[in-house]
Amino acid sequence: MVKLLFLGDIIGRSGREAVQKHLPGLRSSLGLDFVVANGENAAGGFGITDKIAAELYAAGVDCITTGNHVWDQRELILTIDRDPKLLRPLNFPKGTPGKGVGVYRLKNGANIVVANLMTRLFMDPLDDPFAALETLLGQHRLGGTNAAILIDLHGEATSEKMALGHLSDGRASLIVGSHSHVPTADAQIFPGGTGYQTDAGMCGDYDSVIGMKKEPAIARFVRKMPGERLTPAEGEGTMCGIYAEIGADGLCTRIHPVRAGGRLIPALPA
């Protein structure tokens, strides 16, 4: 059995502190084999830096995925190729720095494949994520040395993420959405054995507007004018994610939401 944890978008200092506070204990108590976190909002709500990535690795994160904010901290353009554990969306155009899929060795000697895809509805017009997914699952198959395949679907539209999830059924271990910063209540195992949740939620302060301070965000909606720059809320954060257990065939046998700390109702696997 392989035990996985995926953490949703980490928002600013509050989100980082929530991960640093709760992940080490959870990693120990659940006996986690691998932890993936979406870190594209970890640096002040916009992008991620090498320094912050190192802090997350030290807290127990094994691999970091991103999304549409991946290049907000421009330094990453020059450094991402030096960090094999930091992924950008796979369906960026050919020649974009970094990579969208990584193969990592578990303690038992088997591999886990982690991929990062970005959807297109209400998002940047990247290359076709459905075609990228088919290519990915053709190149990396469950079984043999691949004990698990985990895919982060970073996108706005729930329908598009669901369609990609069903397309992966039976060929991936765990498909989890990110980007909306709000955890959905549809954690399930598809008929073919793939674990799925439309969005894992965020790691950050939920007394906010999707992780940002309330007043400037509300003002933008009310006045329909540019205003104060959005900055992350600074209250106690909730660490949100998805826990999954993967069987010997690489398919999901158990999936459970994770919520720890902050304002949301706690949810932890027994």
d(C-alpha 265, C-alpha 246), whole Å = 26
Alpha carbon distance 6, 10 (integer Å): 11
69 is catalytic: yes
Task: Give, in order, the Cα–Cα distances in Å from 83 to each of 55, 76, 98, 112, 117.
Answer: 14, 10, 8, 17, 18
Tell me if 160 sits within 8 A of 121, measured CB to CB. Answer: yes
Active-site residue among 22, 69, 179, 181?
Answer: 69
Phi, psi angles (nearest 5°) of residue 168: -90, -10
The number of beta carbons lying within 10 Å of the beta carbon of residue 180 is 21
Q: What is the identity of the amino acid at 118?
A: M
Catalytic residues: 69
